[in-house]
Structure 1
Amino acid sequence: MVAPPVATTPSGNLQSSESLAKEQEDEVDEEVVNDMFGGKDHVSIIFMGHVDAGKSTMGGNILYLTGSVDKRTVEKYEREAKDAGRQGWYLSWVMDTNKEERNDGKTIEVGKAYFETDKRRYTILDAPGHKMYVSEMIGGASQADVGILVISARKGEYETGFEKGGQTREHALLAKTQGVNKIIVVVNKMDDPTVDWSEERYNECTTKLGLFLKGIGYNKDDIVYMPVSGYTGAGLKDRVDPKVCPWYSGPALLEYLDNMEHLNRKINGHFMLPISGKMKDMGTVVEGKIESGHIRKNGNLLLMPNKTSVEVLTIYNETEQECDVAYSGEQVRLRLKGVEEEDLQPGYVLTSPQFPVKTVTKFEAQIAIVELKSILSNGFSCVMHLHTAIEEVKFVELKHKLEKGTNRKSKKPPAFAKKGMKIIAVLEVNELICAETYNNYPQLGRFTLRDQGTTIAIGKITKLL
């Protein structure tokens, strides 16, 4: 018996020619993907903003304008909203599917909806704007490619959303830390009698916000502003009528989304999908966004951190249709064989068996403290949101303070850290978590720290220990 020829991988592991051939066949040409799917790119967008900025109404109207929800459904909701004495809210009812949210008029879970234009396929994640629900918002943002920050131009509402304690700032900050690098600021309710498409009011709303966004790290090129009315639909699909608004001649929202540059996706990267939800349905079903690589039906994956081998029995795409293969950037549900639903939780990661995601209890990170009432020193504990995982984390060592502007490391370790400081610290969690360094896989290497219901810091993992 002749041993099969052996190839060595760069990491020096031996690999049989068989598995090598299989891997090469698995490398997918992006053109092939375009050919197979009619070339439609999939983009996840998240609507963010203060509780009454009109996010759901706008989402509902987009679904209606793109024909994803028909007139009859919208009329049905319109009637129901009227009977409940809430006429103005019917479009948001299209997005807010569970009864509790409707009675509340507030979006709690991250709602998901799906629409398609001639150029692209979109999933809308509608984030709750209410203070109590920020951790759901973090989960949504970690799955989005583009953030749409909705602010209300109505007198008083913009101010409430933007001042301390308002959701506008916190959402923008969270989106940035969760890797939403492009932000579209949609100034909504421009048709309101208190605003009446006033350029002055529009400028007032955008100038202040622009300074804040620049301050948290958005470049000028990553921010786009546009005036709209989510309720009448002006500026969503068709451009705003120049008679109504002579001073804005830019694109409408959908027009802009369709013509954005393609997002660079790692179709051939090592497979990684942080699990954001799970359920029992004829077996174990998990959902999440593929952050890297692609998966075929009947493919084998490794579930980390507990190293369970699983087989993918069925793949559902964002419209609940079964498909044979799914790629980086897509929102999917997978039915798995080989693991019980109770043996996994959100924050676990499905990964390629050859190149599994790293698991650690300790890591070094660069951290910027954005909001902290007192000071923090060794032994400080708080809650960390890392991709879809939520874990308690403890500061075990503050190593360096970083100089403002140059990021030079201090020679001496700081005794404590306070608001406005940037530090390098070692953090520890109780259980193994799936993580990568920010440089290797940004989606699995950036995190948010929260304490007592506020976001206190943002960070990126620099070293796994």
Structure 2
Amino acid sequence: MSRHRAVRNLTRDDFDDDFDDDYDARLVQAMLELREIVGDDFDDAELEETLLYYDYSVVKAVRWLLDGVDPDAEPAPKPKAAAPAQKKPAAAAAAAAAAASTAQAQSKNLNKGNAPGTSSPAKSAATTPKKGSGNNSKKNAGSSSSGATTVQAPLNVMQELTAGVKDMRVAAAANSAAASGATTPEPAAPAVSKKRVDIAAEYAQRAAHLNLVMVGHVDAGKSTLTGHLLYQAGVVDDRQMRAYHRDAAKAGKGSFSYAWVMDQNEQERARGVTIDVGVTHLTTPSGRKVTFLDAPGHRDFVPNMIGGAAQADVAVLVVDATPGQVEMGLSEGQTREHLLLVKSLGIPRIVVAVNKMDHPMVNWSRAHFERVRTLLASFMAGIGYNVESHVVFVPTSALAGENLTQRLPHGHVARAWYADQPCLLDVLDTLPIPTRPILKPLRMLVTDSTKGGMASGSVTVWGRIEQGSTQIGDSVMLMPLGQDATVRHIEVKDEAVKWAAAGDHVMVSLAGPDPQQLSAGLVLCARDAPVPVTNRVEAKILVFEPKVPITMGYPVILHQGTLNEPAKNPRVLTKGLDRAR
């Protein structure tokens, strides 16, 4: 058993009556952090006692309370057999029975389930003056008269109590050994109260969740479409939208106001292009939760686009319907590259938003829409997409907000050929939800990290859970660093939750890891099932348009999930798309 059980019912006043304000502040802060992790399973007195014993270490306290593991304990040697008794058998049995009876009576006050206010052996032997009473001495727990002694150090009190409890346990064990004939009794494992969430059951009752990435050529209208859709869906209120309109007009970019919903970075707004992947959420009319990942379209930020697409279940390809734009995007623009990337990243379904249908050169023409559909369908079929079952085409106008969340109204010019057809939000609301591997070991791709954040003394990481699940109090590991951590706080869609599972974009507060070593590309794993680590992979690659031959030693950038790392091609095994390994 751990030494902590010997002082389970002690409070600060049993240790020292002269704690200063620093100690009080540390205890209050540690209590708040510990309460966030363990929830309501333990009362304040027990949390306080545990923190005092472990010198305010929240990590150690969590290990004891949730895992039943004493971080300071050393492996105890197996006790030797007791020496032959010198007393007569009858006298020895009587002495053992008396010792066991005394031990059981005294150990009731040390039981974990004591009601508040139950006195410990130390308190029943002497009354402890409270802080602020002006009395700088207290009675010794082992003294038998009214004579006062000087205050003992907390360590001495703990050692005395530990020894006393050990004697009582030995006496009780001796009685049990006498009855059973055993000579080397093994200590019982400490009982730990855990209140774990049944994630599989909770997940089955939760609303469906879909992650989608917005991709396409630069200036196709991805951010404008996403921002206007969010405004119409009520995610952005009127006051916020008026502010975006005003600020964009002042900057001379009035047509970018809806794009500013997603492009929050000053550099993005000044340049008029998306640089980082923007993340936001909405709830569809059916109750489905949708996470939008707005990826950059400029070729300079393709690595960021890959990081966003790696976290998606579905891609929304936004294309410009004006004459010549689709052809340019497929020949030398990002439309072609983005389609190849989302296919190689394993995204099985694509929704094509044929945007700018309100342009004067298009004017919601069915002929223009069908021309775009034909060009894109031909290319996507060539790279392996089943266009008939896995690709949907929707005409839209991001700037005017037409056919985004509401179907085209009566009298609209396109009603002649697109009457009562689904709007973009209708399509998103009916896409199949992929099966999530929530029962597998935890794997979360880290996209960003920071020191501090949601809980004091911690680090915060962002990312998407690829498989498995996690909940507050879990022991986890950051790979390939091999650093242990404890989950202290979880947020999904800006709301604090007790658990998260595969498919969720989360913000997790961790205790334990070194913030200086954290970076995008790490994998948060279950501690008992870390992800394997390697520095060599064999891959099948698809080359777009190489300007020089790919030979042995060719330098490349390896993208794996959210990780971007320089790599080198040591050798080419085979050549040719049909024979490549």
Q: How does 1:41-440 map to 2 (within 5 A)?
A: 41-118=208-285, 119-164=287-332, 166-220=333-387, 221-241=389-409, 243-245=412-414, 246-249=416-419, 250-281=421-452, 282=456, 283-318=458-493, 320-401=494-575, 404=578, 407=579, 423-424=580-581
1:403 CA drift (Å): 6.5
1:400 CA drift (Å): 3.1
Please tell me whether the aligned partners of residues 197 and 471 of structure 2 are also in contact (alpha carbons under 8 angstroms).
Answer: no
Q: Which amino acid aligns with 1:121?
A: K
What SS does the corresponding residue of 1:368 show, helix, strand or coil?
Answer: coil
Point out where structure 1 has 5 or more consecutive residues left out of the alignment: 2-17, 408-422, 425-465
CA distance in 2, matches of 1:403, 1:147: 25
Structure with a larger share of its residues in strand: 1
Please tell me whether the aligned partners of residues 274 and 348 of structure 1 are also in contact (alpha carbons under 8 angstroms).
Answer: yes
1:399 CA drift (Å): 2.3
CA distance in 2, matches of 1:232, 1:92: 13
What SS does the corresponding residue of 2:558 show, helix, strand or coil?
Answer: strand
Q: Which amino acid aligns with 1:316?
A: E
CA distance in 2, matches of 1:195, 1:262: 34
1:402 CA drift (Å): 5.7
Aligned partner of 2:34 in structure 1 is none
Structure with a larger share of its residues in helix: 2
Q: Which amino acid aligns with 1:252?
A: C
CA distance in 2, matches of 1:371, 1:287: 34
Q: Which amino acid aligns with 1:382?
A: V
* Cα RMSD after superposing both structures: 2.3
Please tell me whether the aligned partners of residues 268 and 293 of structure 1 are also in contact (alpha carbons under 8 angstroms).
Answer: yes
Aligned partner of 1:419 in structure 2 is none
CA distance in 2, matches of 1:81, 1:375: 46
Deviations 1:324-380 (A, max 9, x none): 000100001111111111112211111112222110011222223233122112222
1:391 CA drift (Å): 1.1
Aligned partner of 1:33 in structure 2 is 203
CA distance in 1, matches of 2:386, 2:327: 24
What SS does the corresponding residue of 1:290 show, helix, strand or coil?
Answer: strand
CA distance in 1, matches of 2:353, 2:275: 21
1:211 CA drift (Å): 1.5
Q: Which amino acid aligns with 1:205?
A: V
Point out where structure 2 has 5 or more consecutive residues left out of the alignment: 2-188
What SS does the corresponding residue of 1:266 show, helix, strand or coil?
Answer: coil
Deviations 1:120-160 (A, max 9, x none): 11221111111111111111101111110000112343343
What SS does the corresponding residue of 2:557 show, helix, strand or coil?
Answer: strand
1:58 CA drift (Å): 0.6
Q: How many residues align?
A: 383
Deviations 1:208-239 (A, max 9, x none): 11111122222222211111111122111112
* Bigger mean CA deviation after superposition, 301-310 or 237-246: 237-246
Please tell me whether the aligned partners of residues 228 and 240 of structure 1 are also in contact (alpha carbons under 8 angstroms).
Answer: no
Which is greater in Rg? 2
CA distance in 2, matches of 1:226, 1:70: 26
Q: Which amino acid aligns with 2:481?
A: N
Please tell me whether the aligned partners of residues 27 and 268 of structure 1 are also in contact (alpha carbons under 8 angstroms).
Answer: no
What SS does the corresponding residue of 2:319 show, helix, strand or coil?
Answer: strand
Evaluate the alpha carbon distance shift between residue 372 and residue 145 of structure 1 in structure 2; reply closer, same or farther with a 3 A threshold.
Answer: same
Q: Which amino acid aligns with 2:211?
A: S
What SS does the corresponding residue of 1:364 show, helix, strand or coil?
Answer: coil
Q: Which amino acid aligns with 2:485?
A: V
Please, what TM-score do these two structures have when normalized by structure 1?
Answer: 0.78
CA distance in 2, matches of 1:403, 1:187: 31
Evaluate the alpha carbon distance shift between residue 27 and residue 364 of structure 1 in structure 2; reply closer, same or farther with a 3 A threshold.
Answer: farther
CA distance in 2, matches of 1:390, 1:100: 23
Q: Which amino acid aligns with 1:303?
A: L
CA distance in 1, matches of 2:250, 2:484: 52
1:397 CA drift (Å): 2.7
Aligned partner of 2:119 in structure 1 is none
Evaluate the alpha carbon distance shift between residue 169 and residue 402 of structure 1 in structure 2; reply closer, same or farther with a 3 A threshold.
Answer: closer
What SS does the corresponding residue of 1:109 show, helix, strand or coil?
Answer: coil
What SS does the corresponding residue of 1:190 show, helix, strand or coil?
Answer: coil
Q: Which amino acid aligns with 1:192?
A: H
Please, what TM-score do these two structures have when normalized by structure 2?
Answer: 0.63
- Which consecutive aligned stretches of 4+ in structure 1 deviate over 4 angstroms post-superposition? none
CA distance in 1, matches of 2:577, 2:413: 50
What SS does the corresponding residue of 1:309 show, helix, strand or coil?
Answer: strand
Aligned partner of 2:4 in structure 1 is none
1:392 CA drift (Å): 1.4
Q: Which amino acid aligns with 2:510?
A: L
